[in-house]
Amino acid sequence: DTGVSQDPRHKITKRGQNVTFRCDPISEHNRLYWYRQTLGQGPEFLTYFQNEAQLEKSRLLSDRFSAERPKGSFSTLEIQRTEQGDSAMYLCASSPSIGEQYFGPGTRLTVT
């Protein structure tokens, strides 16, 4: 399968713990995006990378959130000191330089 993959698919953590998610984009896709989706809503943009450079961050991305794409391939999204409001589906998407975005299956985070 050559689509976008995300790991883990599900994560349950206690409030205050740190979590890290991984996204592997489609090979040769330059752009990588992170979105967050809460129940009953459409996805909301968090941040995106052009190769290894992080070019835009949403105001939704507080100081507790950090994303990296060190070699321009896979990306990680870390949430520090998780809060119950962080519970959501975290989606990763990739696209060629100009083109449609293809989404991964998402990571469902539950903060208890």
Q: Is 70 among the residues that bind another protein (CB under 8 A)?
A: no
Q: Contact at 8 Å (CB) between 34 and 56?
A: no
Please identify which residue in the block is written with the tokens 């961050």: 57
Q: Work out which of 52, 56, 78, 83 binds another protein, going by CB under 8 A.
A: 56
Of residues 50 and 80, the one with the C-beta less far from another protein:
50
Q: How far is it, in rounded angstroms, from Cα 34 to Cα 25?
A: 11
Smallest separation (angstroms) from another protein to the CB of 20: 19
From residue 8 to residue 47, the character string flagging contacts with another protein as x (rule: CB under 8 A) and all else as - is -----------------------x-x-x----xxxxxx--
Total site size for another protein, rule CB under 8 A: 26
Q: Work out which of 61, 88, 91, 111 binds another protein, going by CB under 8 A.
A: 91
Of residues 80 and 108, the one with the C-beta less far from another protein:
108
Q: How far is it, in rounded angstroms, from Cα 94 to Cα 82?
A: 26
| CB contact set of 37 (below 8 Å; sequence gap of 6+) | 43, 44, 88, 89, 90, 91, 106
Q: Contact at 8 Å (CB) between 88 and 13?
A: no
